[in-house]
Amino acid sequence: MTESTEAGTAVLDQDGHGPMVVVEGLHRSYGTGAAAVHALRGVSFEVPRGELVALKGRSGSGKTTLLNLVGGLDEPDRGRIVVDGLDLADLGENGLLELRRDRVGFIFQSFGLIPILTAAENVGVPMRLRKEQARAREERVELLLSLVGLEGHAKQRPGELSGGQQQRVAIARALANKPALLIADEPTGQLDAETGLAVMELLRAVVRSERVTALVATHDTTLLDLADRVLELNDGEIVQH
């Protein structure tokens, strides 16, 4: 069935839920002619709601391209993407902006924190963009910092935190607007093995406690056991096992 919304056309199953992510026949190339790089070649998969799905593959396999497409940061050459019931092709520029602001939280390898802001202020940025009331924003920030184990570090700036702590702040910030989907691109890439494992365990706990879905790209095979399921990309295609 379909259902009209302000942001676009929602594509739902009969009970009104369906998978969190549906990708069908996705193609994405960069450049033209003989020099073209085919990053994705007909990728199709689904991500059920409430699961942590790991996306593995060597460097250059298309993981980042795929995450950018699912998150509405880029557009495919061909194919279809549905996120939380919304067909991204129907949204338009404003609809995609709303999707990224309200329904999708992003976690990057480089943390992406604002250096001059405290941990609490960094977490609060997405809510400020939505013009949330100060009291509600402060309560949510306090809750999220506690959730990621940083309740005692609210006033510290990124330069005063370890890499693992900075990534925890980034996770809290990604959860600020209560997204339906978390997208994480190599979130442990700059962390040592022990800290990386702790961050992945935190992501798994967050999926359970916040009832969100997570699509996490990683090349670290030791972290894949924490996922509910694993998708493998090789040369722009999903590998069928």
Q: Which pLDDT tens digit goes with each residue over 221-230? A: 767 888 999 9
Q: What does the pLDDT read at residue 32?
A: 81
Q: Which two tokens stand for residue 190?
A: 């700059």
HSE-CB of 221 using CA atoms within 13 angstroms: 3
Q: What does the pLDDT read at residue 149?
A: 92
Burial class (CB in 10 A: 0-12, 13-18, 19+), 219: middle
Q: What percent of the chain has pLDDT over 70?
A: 93
Identify residue 8 by its one-letter amino acid code. Answer: G
Residue 8's pLDDT band, with cuts at 50, 70 and 90, is very low
**In this structure, what DSSP letter does residue 102 have?**
I
Mean pLDDT confidence for 187-196? 87
CA pair distance 116, 101, nearest whole angstrom: 22
11 versus 188: the higher-pLDDT residue is 188
Q: Where are the beta strands (DSSP E) in 57-210?
A: 78-83, 86-87, 104-108, 181-185
Tell me the whole-structure pTM to 2 decimals: 0.88
Contacts of 112 by beta carbon, 8 Å cutoff, 6+ apart? 170
Identify residue 124 by its one-letter amino acid code. Answer: G
